[in-house]
Structure 1
Amino acid sequence: LECDYIAGCDGFHGVSRQTAPKDKIKTFERVYPFGWLGILSETPPVYEELIYANHERGFALCSQRSDVLSRYYVQVGLDEKIEDWSDDRFWDELITRIPKVAADRLVTGPSIEKSIAPLRSFVTEPMRYGNMFLVGDAAHIVPPTGAKGLNLAASDVSTLYRILVKVYKENRIDLLDKYSEIALRRIWKAERFSWWMTSMLHKFNDDDFGQRIQIAELEYYTSSEAGLTNIAENYVGLPYEPIE
């Protein structure tokens, strides 16, 4: 393979990041003490929008893939095993954690996929080694709570693409040194949002004070125009930086 540049788009477990010497890159990581048990079912979604639930038993999420395909999640410990979670047990737990108005209209059914995903925050700096540029999950991971994984991968692609266009059309070789800096500014803001959403919605321990703070924060952000604007701006995705 002969090329000018390599885009390492091979995910968190790929070889791209591993080829960089350990003293040339630095990683930042936070591993959370829980995971998401998720199922996919051929059932209509419980609601047209996603439902995020903070419950004393743990976090829950209702999402959808289509009009007849739904995905649901509940927070579980990292020591949980899939085989211990029957479909009935999962539905009972989900119904317990989501608001009654949603639970009353929930359509249950056999799962067609079931898995447990651990949660982590992870960032690599810089996102370049020589002529290799790390893109997407190869460089960073966010907890799925903020729904930012694909959004960040797309922004990395956009940033690298726009830089390479200028490299070839305008000989702007200097921009290659700016890829990591530009991409990381957006990445760390998304990491912050995903960490914040995770911290606000999940059960970390049996600290009653901590849970009351979570509820107070939720009530503020969902009842204040400033709070709602903050969530909307970050959830939709921050704007891309111009390449100049």
Structure 2
Amino acid sequence: MSQQPEHLPSMDADYALGDEQIRDYRANGHIGLRGLASPAEIAVYGDAIRTIVKELNYHRKPIHERDTYGKAFIQIGNVWEKSEIVRRFVMARRFAKVAAELMGVEGVRIYHDQALFKEPGGGHTPWHQDQIYWPFDSDKTITMWMPIVPVTEEMGSMTFASGSHEAGYINKLVISDESHRTLRQYIEAKGFGQTTYGAMAAGDATFHAGWTLHSAPGNPTDRMREVMTIIYYADGLKAAEPDSNARKADLAGWLPGVKPGELAASHLNPLVYRAAK
């Protein structure tokens, strides 16, 4: 029996984020945080996320017949719109406060969420930068990546190119074989160190900046790697003129009704945290 919203675990309690962790994030463009969500919270919210993904899984071809992007994961966006339980999770004050503190901003809005489930035998996630998709006038963006099942070393978690966020916009390559090849060469040429946080418990999380180069290995295990992501941006950002088809699509899909130069704040982008004055 599913839980009623009034009986859901609260997600308002603060996570103690230290100054050194904030400095590390800003220097490297990523950080790993252990125990951001409790086992009890993951048991409830993870099950709700899993149910929606199962209902909306659009893949009909076996993995070996898909392209690189299709092999990488089952991807369902704005899961919060489809479930009151998931909405409570995505709008959690705890996660949003961490995002704001890492970026050094007073308030954050939701850009969108994504469930990213890498199937057994699923392929690698190519190197890419998230923010090539995002039509904002600032780089004050951040993504939380949280497994809702234990992720072993073999199953693979994210790999980050440390310090690569400082390079800003590198190129327009969307997630593809070409982005993997080209950006891997770029990382090697620039000498960026590569960091992974290894095995992760359900409820652990990584955060990374919009320009941070990242990838993930394939899943050679017989278990689904189930991950929920939430993208935040600083309150007050404006929509930029989209300079690619990817950004045009994002502007229309995730900032509906917002025009370039206007405040980035549609009905899909609620303010989820603001620091007390």
| Structure of greater Rg | 1
Q: Could you state the TM-score of these two structures normalised by the residue count of structure 2?
A: 0.20
Q: Could you state the TM-score of these two structures normalised by the residue count of structure 1?
A: 0.22
Using CA pairs under 8 Å that are at least 6 residues apart, name the structure with larger relative contact order, 1 or 2. 2
